[in-house]
Structure 1
Amino acid sequence: MNRLPAHLSERDREQAVELVQQAYAEGRLDPAELERRLDLALTATSAQELEPILGDLPDEVVRLRSTGGRVTRAGDWQVPRRLHIESEFGKVRLDLSEARIPYPRIDIELRLAHGGATILLPAGASANVDGVRTEWGRVTCKAAGRPRPGGLHVQISGELPFGRLTVRTTRR
């Protein structure tokens, strides 16, 4: 989060209230937490009092959807903390090997009816695919399953009734 100025303007307060309300609307806060944070934001007298209200908001989920096309991310891209991908017939390819990943752990949720997904991890990363359910599809994970100290860990969950998932580290 960007540092706020020491003086609290009405606009700063309004922006804090907006962010808290948005987090609630997206399901990232429960009603009690919404009320608590709004009370704190509305009674804050300095920008420093807003920092704990906003700084620890639960992560936003980035959602990608496709019906029959491809969802591809590769090269130098910013990986969100939580990624949700839905596709009816399309294919998904996520190459994390050159991506900017500021988190030690990321969560990827897949909802792929008939398509398949390939996730390429950077060298030394690990992945857990135990949360993936399939009926007629297949899940293959060639990466380490347990988190490694200092390495990226990717938690993958979701449903692929007729789809395939392949997870592996890049070859370097």
Structure 2
Amino acid sequence: MVPPDPNMRVSNAEREAIIARLHAATEEGRLDLQEFADRSREAYEARTYGEVERLLADLPETTGTLATTTPAPAAAAGPAELRLNPKASSVERKGDWLVPRKLAVDAKASSVKLDCRHAKINSTQVEIDLNLIASSVELVLPAGAYAVDENIDVVASSVENKASYQGVDGIRFVLYGRMKISSVTVRHERRFLWWRW
């Protein structure tokens, strides 16, 4: 691929892509928050490719992978089921984790966050069996995925599904089970400027 002319003007979409790479590098620990803020400001002020080239010069071409990294085995299908049983605790799964076909969450007086945005999902459907007492569950879905929550027995609890089916055939998350004095929130990634959570 021929590198762009350093005198060529940078578009807004290209600036956003640069900010996204800087943000990913910050999450990986390659940049600290001050470096991220400084480089982001410079990216927004830049006019040409020559001005933004140095902002990415010390970062890998594709964040998270180095040329010397040994690839993971292709047969990593993972377990068919994952059970989480927190008691008066906080549990979080995020980043590059393997989502099985079924998750069982048996929580008492606990909070559970399942962030699937960057997770490895090897099936078209993920079942989540809930057994909650005085607990909260937050499920963050990857882009294109949706959730179905029609078979949950609810007692003094709330279910907020902000990622229901919208006509896109992505990964389907099926929530079922029972809840007492608990809450479940299902959502997609939130965005504000270059922040994602």
Q: Normalising by the residue count of structure 2, what TM-score does the alignment of the two structures yield?
A: 0.54
Match for residue 95 of structure 1 among 115, 119, 123: 115
- Matched-pair contact (CA < 8 Å) for 1:123–1:171: no
| Residue 83 of structure 1: aligned partner | 103
Match for residue 70 of structure 1 among 90, 93, 109: 90
| Residue 4 of structure 2: aligned partner | none
- Name the aligned partner's letter for residue 75 of structure 1: G
- Name the aligned partner's letter for residue 165 of structure 2: G
User: In 1, distance between residues paired with 2:96 and 2:81?
Assistant: 20
Residues 35-56 of structure 1 deviation map (CA, whole Å, 9 limit, x = unaligned): xxxxxxxxxxxxxxxxxxxxxx
- Name the aligned partner's letter for residue 136 of structure 2: G
Matched, 1:170 2:189: yes
Structure 2 gaps, min length 5 = 1-78, 192-197
1:132 to partner: Cα distance: 1.6
Tell me which structure has the larger Cα radius of gyration: 2
Matched, 1:139 2:155: no
| Residue 156 of structure 1: aligned partner | 175
Change (3 A) 1:92 1:143: same
Structure 1 gaps, min length 5 = 1-58
1:161 to partner: Cα distance: 1.0
User: In 2, distance between residues paired with 1:142 and 1:101?
Assistant: 20
- Identity level (%): 31
- Name the aligned partner's letter for residue 98 of structure 1: H
Where in structure 1 do 4 or more consecutive aligned residues deviate above 4 Å? none
Q: Name the SS of the counterpart of 2:168 in structure 1.
A: coil
| Residue 113 of structure 1: aligned partner | 133
- Name the aligned partner's letter for residue 143 of structure 1: A
The structure with the largest helix share of the pair is 1
- Name the aligned partner's letter for residue 109 of structure 1: D
User: In 1, distance between residues paired with 2:167 and 2:123?
Assistant: 13
| Residue 7 of structure 1: aligned partner | none
User: In 1, distance between residues paired with 2:106 and 2:159?
Assistant: 17
Pairwise CA RMSD of aligned residues? 1.6
1:171 to partner: Cα distance: 2.8
1:145 to partner: Cα distance: 2.9
